[in-house]
Amino acid sequence: MLEFAGFLPILLIIGMAAIQLGLVGYAINQAGSGARAAARVASQEPGGGEAAGYAAMSDWLDANVSAPNGGGDTTTATVTVDVPVLIPFAEFDWQVVRRATMPNDDDD
Going from N- to C-terminal start, the domains of the chain cover 2-103
Whether residue 108 has pLDDT greater than 60: no
pLDDT digits (tens, 9 = 90+) for 10-41: 999 899 999 999 999 999 999 999 999 999 99
Amino acid letter at 77?
Answer: A
3-class DSSP state of 97 = strand
The pLDDT of residue 86 is 86
Residues 6+ apart with CB under 8 A from 69: 42, 46, 47, 49, 75
Question: What is the C-alpha separation between 52 and 44, in angstroms, rounded?
Answer: 12
Distance of CA 108 to the CA centre of its chain: 35
pTM of the complete model: 0.85
- Would you say residue 83 has pLDDT above 60? yes
Q: Facing residues of 103 across strands?
A: 74
